[in-house]
Amino acid sequence: MTDVMRIVLSPLVWLASFSAVYGLNGLLCGHGLVDAAVGSLSVQRAILVGAYGLALALQAAILVGLHMPRFASSSGFVRGVSVATGMAGFVAAAWSLMPVLTTSLC
Amino acid sequence: MMATLLALSGCGGPLSMLDPAGPAARDIATLWWVMLVGALLIFVFVLALVVAAFRRPRTAAPTHSPRDEAARERLFVVTLGIAFPVVVLLALLAYGLVIGERLLPRDEPSVVRVDAQARRSTWDFTYPGLGRTSRNVLHIPAGRPVDVAITTADVIHSFWVPRLAGKLDAIPGHINVLRIEADRPGTYSGLSAEFSGPGYSHFKFEVVAHDPAGWADFSEDGTE
Amino acid sequence: MRALERHRKLTAIWSSEPGFRGWFSTVNHTDVGKLFLVTAFVFFLIGGILAMLIRAQLATPHSAFAGPEIYNQIFTMHGTIMMFLFAIPTFEGLAIYLLPKLLGTRDLAYPRLTSYGYWCYLFGGSMLLVSMVLGIAPNGGWFMYPPLTGPIYSPGINTDFWLIGITFVEISAMAAAVELCVSILKYRAPGMSLDKMPIFAWYALVTALMILTGFPPLILGSILLELERAFGLPFFQADLGGDSLLWQHLFWLFGHPEVYIIFLPAAGVISTVLPVMCRTTLLGYGWVVAAAVALAFLSFALWVHHMFTTGIPHMSLALFSAASTLVAVPTGVQIFAWIGTLWKGRPELHLPMLHILGFFVTFVIGGLTGVMVAVVPFDWQVHDTAFVTAHLHYVLFGGFVFPILAGIYYWLPQVTGRKRFFRLGEIAFALIFIGFHLTFLAMHWVGLLGQRRRIDTYLPEDGWTTVNLVSSVGSFIMAMGIAIVILDVVVHVLTATRGPRNPWGAGTLEWAMIIPPPAYNFASLPHVASRDPLADDPDLPLRLARGEGYLGEPREGRRETLMVDVSSGAPEALVVYPANTRLPVAMAAMTGLFFLSLLLKFYWAVPIALAGVAALAWRWVWQLGRSVDEAPAPVGHGITLPSALGADRSPGWWGTSFLLVANGTFFGSLLFGFAFLWTVAPGWPPPALFEASLGEIAVGVAALAVTVAAVESAVRTNRAGGRPLAALLAGLIAVFCVVAVCAVMMARIPAPTEHAYYATLLVLTGYALFHALLTGLMFAFLIARVRAGFTSPSRRAEFTIVSLWTKYLVLTGALVLAACQLPDLFT
Ligand code: HEM
Ligand SMILES: [Cu+2]
């Protein structure tokens, strides 16, 4: 079962962080933080970008973990597949949360 | 295949999104044509790969050595399966987001605002500042951006004038703002585009875009 | 023992009762799988006839074929039947029939559950058919948006048929999903480690996990909408603190994964059949597994792309647009892995291969239009037009029907033991292929010309006449093709030409048995050392029939199989299945009574039905018990294994874990709904917050703590050889305190029909109350077990199961307590 967990961990964490960022933005839009700003940087944008960074860091940590002998699976196959899904999770985080940097907030 | 379709019917028609009459619909029509060409290219490419697999000369027996297998995986999975879609999709996503940003209702001095309220089988339009209302016909000035604030009195509906812009839903308790604009004066057909029960098929309205003189008349005129 | 004698003995042990009676008591996966498939195919035909009616209506403008009242029922039922009564059950049937054979074992994890699922499906589906025959079928479109489907705008019973009937059918999907997860992970041939699993098993595992986490939001939505309709709890009414958007979120939280739940099994069929048709193995097995897993997760973060026009902030749209384009990558990996497989082998144009080619052409187009509608501005135009209808059929027909047809023609010889007689299949394929593309390519075009979906008529001035006519003609060509497929299959089943045992030269285990398959599948279980055991050892069927594998010696009328380690496939325990019984069909009938009394508003019958379900469930579980310890038994190859009943992680433990994953998703969706209404719905804050009560908090927390302590103590006492009656009794009392706290809180909620806040609190506390009662029942069951002498240190499985449920109660109970009480404390 741990082997199955290894395979699904990274996409699962991605799903959680994606939903969290989506919910966070909805919350911030609903509660009038849109116009708050520090200098030229809007507070809402800063929070979202921070969450983006956190999501990437988590994914990176998982990827490193999947490579470490301590956490890696003893089965070569599971190692390969979990690294592939780990990469998928990382790319998914980088890609799907990118609008946080570019798109207008609300 | 698409050619036969094109032959079967043109792109015109009172409700055709491919016959745009405003900036938003035009942006989206362009987007469609770009995507259509891209999709056709990809489709032909994929199909060619499939057909070629059947046409390959069968001189030697297929090899299954780990080295061949790894090379094939690199070619088919990594290059064609991952790298190729990633590049295409990133470009498309960026294009779509840029257009999406451009179509958002933003503050501009020349914007006209109207309120639209749907209820089953009628659209009621009010013109704040003008003290006027109209039913099933929306009056707008041509050549100026118009923000339509959409809501509903009963079930969910959707405000859609295909030749001017995309659609936006009318949802109970919410007000959604859609930016539309007509290049030229004229009459444009509109549809309610969310299923609303019996009567849905005939649930339509019209948008009349006035030239400056006509709009001035409309603004001053008391009743319709 | 000779092979024939072994065959006779095993058949006597495993076979269903003969004749018609056997249908009701069979728990055998081969039988139930076939029942599932045939029933699903009948629903496909009904749905197809409805589709023909739709196309007849739309063939010309001003059609007077059906008025809107009837037409709305037709397209709603078409969509509903195709999605819920054809596609999902087809997957269930296929997986139920195939998996034990592919995995080299004798049955699925819970044979009685297999059968219960089938009856729920049949009864629930029949409810919907009855509504159609009576002309009171659901008519709000297959995604049933309120307020249109709410009590005000749809007062009739039509919508209730959908909400209640589909929830009933969903039970069968959940049952199958739990069962498939456990079966794939724990019930395989010895030696079959994860990397040696047939690729179809991976796909089925991923799909089953998706059903477990995808269906609960819909079940929750259906319950909430039915509560609104029946009792006026205003979850979706904007003027009373509800929001119709909540339904859309819950529905699509299910609805998008649903699409992949339909596609993934079909992809599993392609991955299995295609390599055989090319005389090679699948290219990039590991990549394909990773792609399927990635696809599954990605598909849970796409749901908002069905809501691009609802006025959600552009940032949110952008996030979901990004995720929606991304999902094309793992799909691309699979497509190109299959093409690579074509290149690697020598493709041969047998009939299944034709359908696979049909799949390639159709699905690639569907995928490309899918990427188009993922681009937000384009979706603003085509959303709710015929373009989307066309897209979804390219995906569903291309991505499901063509692969399933390939699968039917591939496995039919395995099912019947015969070979095809006439060559009708090729003609049928050509008609279906041509007809399909005529029908739906045309629909893209009228969509772009402004034709909305779900209209029953249009005007000649609209300019859609020719295209619609072409589309309708196409659909009738396709219908002829389908009719010929049926003819072909019927002829195949009836003609008596024996086929060869492994006609395609496949390497997987379903071909390593006598065909048509015997009730017990394998006379002895193989030891698997590669992904294609049959290719490595063509004599395998013979050796298995001679009893050279595991469990080759039939024992005292017991249906035996092995449980293995999840990762390595090393044999772990000996399982004895229950035999034929009518308990499942009785249980399904009782469940049906429950749903029927809700539907007809005979609320007095609801408690009776619930008590009946509880009583049958009690019997169901009771029958599994043993009054004496089972000694470890030899299973062949010199290995001796203990009984699975003595394991901490028994079959029941595994099933409970997966069921709780689904249950947790349900609860999570409920919390999401609460938070959503609180933050997004107009009409908040409510008139007053629920008044916090320190007394309730104190008693509730204490009672929950005692419950979990009691169950832990009972587990330990039993393992040490004692009779943990005192601990269990203490637990039971504590559970009743939880029940009391929940009841008091429910009674204190002010007017739940006046604000969605109160209505939501009512559902939250009701949820906790239900689980407390359930846990109480389990404690009572354990007490009865201990007193009857059915427990011992090596018969301890039920303790760990109850412990799981108790911990779940404590977790959710504490969250409910917090959600109700804390807001008031902190303001
Ligand atoms: C047998 C050939 C089929 C034909 C000719 C057909 C035709 C149609 C047509 C014309 C509509 C659009 C009605 C409208 O909104 O104007 C429709 C809707 C739909 N179809 Fe099919 N269909 C077929 C098979 C399938 C299959 C196999 C599935 C799913 C597995 C499916 C799922 C749906 C769904 C979900 C809808 C939407 C219903 C709604 O709007 O509520 N169809 N079909
Ligand atoms: Cu979707």
Contact B28 C381 (CB under 8 A): yes
| Nearest in space to C96 (alpha carbons), one of C121, C77, C75, C78 | C121
- Residues of chain A in Cβ contact (below 8 Å) with chain B: 95, 99, 102-104
Pull the structure tokens for residue C699: 């008693």
Residue B178 near residue B159 (C-beta atoms within 8 A): yes
Token reading at C63: 């059609």
Name the stretches of chain C with pLDDT < 70. Answer: 496
Q: What is the pLDDT of residues A57-73, one digit of tens each?
A: 999 999 998 888 878 88
Q: Which atom of ligand 1 is nearest to the CA of C439?
A: 5
- What integer pLDDT is reported at residue A29 of this predicted model? 80
Which chain B positions have a beta carbon within 8 Å of C148's beta carbon?
155-156, 195-197
Closest-CA residue in chain B for C364? B43
Q: Using alpha carbons, select from C331, C313, C312, C326 the residue that is nearest to residue C374.
A: C326
Measured in Å, residue C77 CA sits from the centre of ligand 1 at 10
Class of domain C665-825: mainly alpha
C83 CA to middle of ligand 1, Å?
A: 9
**Could you state, in order of their start, the residue ranges of all structural domains in chain C?**
3-498, 509-641, 665-825
**Which token pair is C95?**
């997986």
Which residue's CA is minimally distant from atom 9 of ligand 1?
C51
Question: A99 vs B101: CB contact, 8 Å cut-off?
Answer: no
pTM over 0.90: yes
Question: Which residue of chain A comes nearest to C296, CA vs CA?
Answer: A11
Q: Do the Cβ atoms of C244 and B156 come within 8 Å? A: yes
Residues 6+ apart with CB under 8 A from C411: C98, C510
Residue B152 token pair: 């509903």
User: B211: buried, middle or exposed (CB in 10 Å: 19+, 13-18, 0-12)?
Assistant: middle
Nearest ligand, measured from the Cα of C373: 2
The answer to whether C376 contacts B84, with C-beta atoms less than 8 Å apart, is no
Class of domain C3-498: mainly alpha
**Chain C residues with CB-CB distance to A32 below 8 A:** none
Pocket-testing residue among C44, C50, C82, C385, ligand 1, by greatest number of atoms within 8 A of Cβ: C82
Indicate yes or no: CB of C318 within 8 angstroms of CB of A103: yes
Q: Is C377 on the interface with B (CB under 8 A)?
A: yes
B196: which chain C residues are within 8 Å (Cβ-Cβ)?
Answer: 148
Ligand 1, atom 35: closest residue by C-alpha = C79
Residue type, C800: T
Sequence-distant contacts of C813-818: CB under 8 A, at least 24 apart: C813/C700, C813/C704, C813/C738, C813/C742, C813/C768, C813/C771, C813/C772, C814/C700, C814/C701, C814/C704, C815/C667, C815/C671, C816/C742, C816/C764, C816/C765, C816/C767, C816/C768, C817/C696, C817/C697, C817/C700, C817/C701, C817/C741, C817/C768
- Contact yes or no for A96 and C315 at CB 8 A: no
CA distance B46 to B54: 13
**Measured CA distances, C761 to C251, C679, C753, C818 (Å):** 21, 16, 11, 11
Query: Encoding tokens for residue A49?
Result: 């970008």
Residue C257: both structure tokens together? 């994964």
Query: What one-letter code names the amino acid at B150?
Result: I
* Of the partner residues C244, C336, C458, the one whose CB lies closest to the CB of residue B76: C336
Pick the residue of C63, C225, C246, C378 with the most B CBs within 10 A to test the interface with B by mutation: C378
**Ligand whose nearest atom lies closest to the CA of C395:** 1
CA distances from C617 to C124, C369, C586, C614 (A): 20, 48, 11, 5
Give the residue whose CA is nearest to atom 38 of ligand 1.
C79
C319–A104: do the CB atoms touch at under 8 Å? no
CB half-sphere exposure, A5, CA atoms < 13 A: 6
Distance from CA of A90 to the nearest CA of C (A): 11
Selected for mutation to probe chain C from A1, A12, A28, A48 (highest C CB count within 10 Å) is A1
In angstroms, the separation between the Cα of residue B181 and the nearest Cα of chain A is 21
pLDDT in tens, A87-103: 999 999 999 999 988 88
Is B188 in contact with B209 (CB distance < 8 Å)?
Answer: yes
Task: Break chain B into its structural domains and give their ranges.
Answer: 15-102, 112-220
**Residues with C-beta less than 6 Å from any ligand 1 atom:** C 48, 51, 54-55, 75-76, 78-79, 82-83, 87, 141-142, 389, 393, 396-397, 400-401, 439, 453-454, 475, 478
Tokens of A83: 């690294």
Which chain B residues are closer than 8 Å to C372 by Cβ?
Answer: 32, 35, 39
Reduced to 3 states, what is the DSSP secondary structure of residue C563?
strand
Whether B47 and C334 lie within 8 Å, measured CB to CB: no
Residues 141-160 of B with CB under 8 A from C: 150, 154-156, 158
* Minimal-distance CA residue of chain C relative to B11: C449
If you measure from the C-alpha of residue C440 to the centroid of ligand 1, how many angstroms do you get, rounded to a whole number? 10
- Taking each helix axis from N to C terminus, what angle separates C111-133 and C88-102, rounded to the nearest 10 degrees? 160
Whose CA is closest to atom 13 on ligand 1? Answer: C454
Distance (Å) from CA C42 to ligand 2 centroid? 27
Cα–Cα separations (whole angstroms), residue C585 to C38, C121, C171, C553: 18, 11, 14, 32
Shortest distance between the Cα of A13 and any Cα of chain B, in A, equals 21
Mean pLDDT by 10 residues, chain B (224 residues): 47 88 94 95 95 77 73 86 91 91 85 94 91 93 94 95 95 94 94 92 94 90 56
pLDDT of res. C793 = 87
Write b or e for each residue in C155-194: b if 16 or more Cβ atoms lie within 10 A of its Cβ, otherwise e: eebbbbbbbbbbbbbbbbbbbbbbbbbbbbbbbbbbbbbb
Yes or no: say if B56 and B213 are a contact pair by the CB < 8 Å rule. no
Q: Which of A95, A102, A104 has the CB atom closest to B104's CB atom? A: A104
**Closest listed ligand to the CA of B195:** 1
How far does the centroid of ligand 1 lie from the alpha carbon of residue C654, in Å?
Answer: 38
Dihedral sign, Cα of residue B29, residue B31, residue B33, residue B36: negative
Sheet holding B157-160, edge to edge: B137-141, B204-210, B186-192, B157-160, B168-170
State the Rg of chain C over Cα. 27
Q: Name the residue ranges covered by the structural domains of chain A.
A: 3-102
Contact assignment for C286 to A81 by CB distance below 8 Å: yes
* Residue recorded with tokens 């909408």: C225
How far off is chain C from B77, nearest CA to CA, in Å? 5
CB-based contact, C573 to chain B, within 8 Å? no
Q: Whose CA is nearest to atom 43 of ligand 1?
A: C51
Note the pLDDT of residue C306.
Answer: 95
The CATH classification number of B112-220 equals 2.60.40.420
* Most informative mutation of C71, C78, C84, C434 for ligand 1 (most atoms within 8 A of CB): C78
What local confidence, expressed as pLDDT, does residue B3 receive?
A: 40
* Dist CA C750 CA C709 (whole Å): 34
Chain A nearest-CA distance from C295, in A, is 9
Count CB atoms within 10 A of the CB of residue C745: 24
Cα torsion angle, C330, C331, C335, C338, sign: positive
B contacts of A95 (beta carbons < 8 Å): 90
Residues belonging to chain A: 106
Of C300, C330, C566, which has the smallest distance from its Cβ to A4's Cβ?
A: C566
Ligand 1 atom nearest to C86, measured from its CA? 30
* d(CA A102, nearest CA chain B) in Å: 9
Nearest to C313 among A73, A84, A106 (CB): A106
For residues C248 and C281, give the distance between their C-alpha atoms in angstroms, rounded to a whole number.
Answer: 43
